[in-house]
Amino acid sequence: MADMKTKTGTTVIKNTKIADGVFDMTLRYPEGKAPSEVKPGQFVGVFMNDASKLLPRPISICGWDPEKRDLRLVYRVAGKGTKELSEASSGDAFEVLGILGNGYDIRVLAGKRVLLAGGGIGAPPLLGLANALAGAPVPAQVTAALGYRTADLFLKDEFEKTSRTVIATDDGTYGFHGNVIDAVRNELVREGELPFDVICACGPLPMLRAVKALAKEFSVPAYLSLEERMACGVGACLGCVVKTAGEDPHSHVHNARICTEGPVFKAEDVEI
Amino acid sequence: MKNDTGRRPDLSVVIAGVEFKNPVMTGSGTFGSGMEYAEFVDLNRLGAVVTKGVSNVPWPGNPTPRVAEVYGGMLNAIGLQNPGVDVFIERDLAFLEDYDTKVIVNVCGKSIRDYLDVVEKLADLKRVDMLEINVSCPNVKEGAIAFGVNADSLFEITQKIKRVAAQPVIMKLTPNVTSISEMAKAAEAGGADAISLINTLTGMKIDVERQSFVLANKTGGLSGPAIHPVAVRMVYEAAHAVGIPVIGMGGIASWEDAVEMMLAGATAVAVGAMNFADPRITEKVIDGMEDYLVRHGIDSIRSIIGAVK
């Protein structure tokens, strides 16, 4: 049952600190238990081994290697669960739920001029997207605008392999002095005519609000990858909703489930 | 699995004339309508699917954040978001047609009239085996819990629902009361066919770094293993207070917890928050209960109900 969602035991292959509080983890699926399809923008629920921590941690997927059955998660330590995760060593085991949610549709984005806007720990899923777009039958022209607090950057070199990469830092210690929204605006006005067909953004909520406003101002379609505190991760508990412009398909009350209808939404479909 | 006499132990239980193949149900609100977990669990194995609370019209629920993890449990303040009874009947009940499990529909409302509207609409539906009346949700401002914390109100709403209900009625009780026995007796006096307990305990979590409430609703319902001993105590007290069957729930995380609840007096059990921690938990609980009966040479699970006095 390849399409069945399952809780699967995985093994830590590596778990390396790549910036202050940011870790790069590879989890290997056992043979025959690997997910059949993984799209950029999707996520998994990672269960902690400490049973007092009940709920799966929703973590976006940074990369997927189907040959090795390796899932790459780049995450920030945000609480007790991710702290436990950060202390894992290779050989340790973690149960994983998923692949969960709806990711980006590469067919829609292939061949387009795509602006990726990543704020902080919003960058990792966009790296997966950049790599998928570079490998598409008709590659996209990708610009990545990435915002960090300081020069303590992560994943920059990997973005540069496939994409024109613009870095903004809040404190000006690297690249453009300003936030990622300033960098995105600069990109949008860079040439006489609009240089992008679509924006894909992931980052903190205020940033996504600003991207949504810019997308409207410049009449360019945008996709936003949202996050929220989740419990089940599979659409049952209705914990992780976002207000939507239209009726949501589950409850018909303009509250879509980020874990199920999302986490990637069209900007105009969500009221954030 | 077989016991000494060579027969599989009998896991079936009966509540208000409805026979369940085993005593393991899902806690309302933790399992959607079964649809959301059908890819993880064989719904045919469950004693019953207890569906997410449904109201007469769609309810949008509370602002986010709606959930937070705490030590050994979680808080939720979903606020009973649901699509309303019409969509529920067309979509969710229709989905459950294909499964061989009992269906208990959890009903919520802000006024007695709201509850009666839903109960009346469900009256003709053969797929609905029982109703569970939610008078215990701590996360909605009006109705719901208001009916469950006062014995007179609970008696009144139970009586009014019983007058129009076609299916047997379970009143789902809140633990946020001084005397669970008094509330159990009020439900029984109002004509309830069974009671279920416990719903969540009202809790709160503060983010010390941000110095703010974690939940947008400030308070939320505590569930998960952390509340299990409270639930066992209350099931025990309620079972000794009334003659109607008690469905026990609250932090069941294993077959041991389920057996414990039945020894305390529950006729059936529901697994709630632990579905999030392990989507296959219900099947594991059923398997473990069967194994327990075999090891103890017990023919029927019914003989352990309330066995610890």
Give the single-character DSSP code of B90: I
Give me the residues of A, 220-249, that contact B with CB < 8 A: 228-242
| pLDDT tens by residue, B142-180 | 666 778 899 999 999 999 999 999 999 999 999 999 999
For A47, name the nearest residue in chain B, comparing CA atoms only: B277
The answer to whether residue B29 sits within a structural domain is: yes
Find the Cα–Cα–Cα–Cα dihedral B81, B85, B87, B92, rounded to 10°: 90
Helices (H), B174-280: 180-189, 228-241, 255-263, 274-277
Using a CB-CB distance cutoff of 8 angstroms, which residues of chain A are in contact with residue B273?
Answer: 54, 231
Give the single-character DSSP code of A57: E
Using a CB-CB distance cutoff of 8 angstroms, which residues of chain A are in contact with residue B76?
Answer: 231, 237, 239
ipTM of the complex, rounded to two decimals: 0.93
Q: Any catalytic annotation for residue B137? A: yes
The answer to whether residue B1 sits within a structural domain is: no
Which of the residues A237, A241, A258, A260 would you substitute to probe the B interface, choosing the one with the greatest number of B C-beta atoms within 10 Å?
A: A237
The answer to whether residue B46 sits within a structural domain is: yes
The answer to whether residue A20 sits within a structural domain is: yes
The structural domain count of chain A equals 2
| pLDDT tens by residue, A69-93 | 999 999 999 999 999 999 999 999 9
Q: Kindly list the residues of chain B whose beta carbon comes within 8 Å of any beta carbon in chain A.
A: 29-32, 36-37, 39-40, 52, 58-61, 64-69, 71-74, 76, 78, 81-84, 87, 224-225, 273-280
pLDDT score recorded for residue A2: 39
Both A110 and A220 in one domain: the answer is yes
The structural domain count of chain B equals 1
The answer to whether residue B216 sits within a structural domain is: no
Question: Which amino acid makes up residue B18?
Answer: V
Both A219 and A115 in one domain: the answer is yes
Final residue of a domain: which of A208, A225, A242?
A225
Using a CB-CB distance cutoff of 8 angstroms, which residues of chain B are in contact with residue A234?
Answer: 36-37, 40, 279
Question: How many residue pairs bridge chain A and chain B with CB atoms within 8 Å of each other?
Answer: 114
Both A115 and A219 in one domain: the answer is yes
Bridge partners of A244, per DSSP, are: A270
Closest by CA position to A111, among listed A89, A134, A83, A139: A139
CATH number at residue B230: 3.20.20.70
**Helical pair B255-263 and B228-241, crossing angle rounded to 10 deg:** 30
pLDDT score recorded for residue A190: 79
The answer to whether residue B2 sits within a structural domain is: no
The answer to whether residue A265 sits within a structural domain is: no
pLDDT score recorded for residue B289: 98
Pull the structure tokens for residue A7.
């809780």
pLDDT score recorded for residue B137: 75
Pull the structure tokens for residue A141.
């022209």
Both A115 and A43 in one domain: the answer is no
Is the confidence at residue A177, as pLDDT, over 60?
A: yes
Taking the CB of residue B253, how many other CB atoms lie within 10 A of it?
Answer: 22
For B220, name the nearest residue in chain A, comparing CA atoms only: A239
Residues of chain B falling short of pLDDT 50: none
Expressed as residue numbers, the domain containing B123 is: 13-61+79-202+222-304
Bridge partners of B157, per DSSP, are: none
Give the active site residue among B137, B187, B273, B289: B137
Closest by CA position to A128, among listed A64, A36, A216: A64
CATH number at residue A57: 2.40.30.10
| pLDDT tens by residue, B5-33 | 567 899 999 999 999 999 999 999 999 99
Closest by CA position to B242, among listed B177, B157, B173, B295: B173
**Overall average pLDDT of the A98-126 stretch:** 95
Expressed as residue numbers, the domain containing A218 is: 106-225
If you write DSSP's letter for every residue of B16-56 in order, what string do you get?
TTEEESSSEEE-TTSSTTSGGGTTTS-GGGSSEEEPPPB-S
Give the single-character DSSP code of B56: S
Which of the residues A5, A44, A95, A232 would you substitute to probe the B interface, choosing the one with the greatest number of B C-beta atoms within 10 Å?
A: A232
Closest by CA position to A263, among listed A209, A180, A201, A211: A201
pLDDT score recorded for residue A1: 37
Residues B268 and B282: their CA atoms lie apart, in Å, by 13
Using a CB-CB distance cutoff of 8 angstroms, which residues of chain B are in contact with residue A252?
Answer: 58, 83-84, 87
Closest by CA position to B82, among listed A142, A107, A183, A257: A257
Residues 6 or more apart whose CB falls under 8 angstroms from that of A130 comprise A116, A142, A144, A159, A162, A163
The answer to whether residue B249 sits within a structural domain is: yes
The answer to whether residue B51 sits within a structural domain is: yes
Taking the CB of residue B218, how many other CB atoms lie within 10 A of it?
Answer: 12
Give the single-character DSSP code of B288: H
For B72, name the nearest residue in chain A, comparing CA atoms only: A52
The two beta strands, A241-243 and A255-257, are antiparallel
CATH number at residue A162: 3.40.50.80
Quote the radius of gyration of chain A (alpha carbons, Å): 18
Element (H, E) at B281: helix B281-295
Both A196 and A123 in one domain: the answer is yes
Both A132 and A30 in one domain: the answer is no
Q: In what order do the strands lie in the sheet with A57-60?
A: A57-60, A43-46, A93-100, A6-19, A22-28, A70-76, A63-65
The answer to whether residue B212 sits within a structural domain is: no
What mean pLDDT is reported for chain A?
94
Final residue of a domain: which of A100, A129, A162?
A100
Nearest to A236 among B36, B61, B71 (CB): B36
**Distance from B92 to chain A by nearest Cα, in Å?**
10
pLDDT score recorded for residue A202: 97
Final residue of a domain: which of A76, A100, A124?
A100
Residue at token pair 């719901």? B144
What's phi and psi for A147, nearest 5 deg?
-110, 135
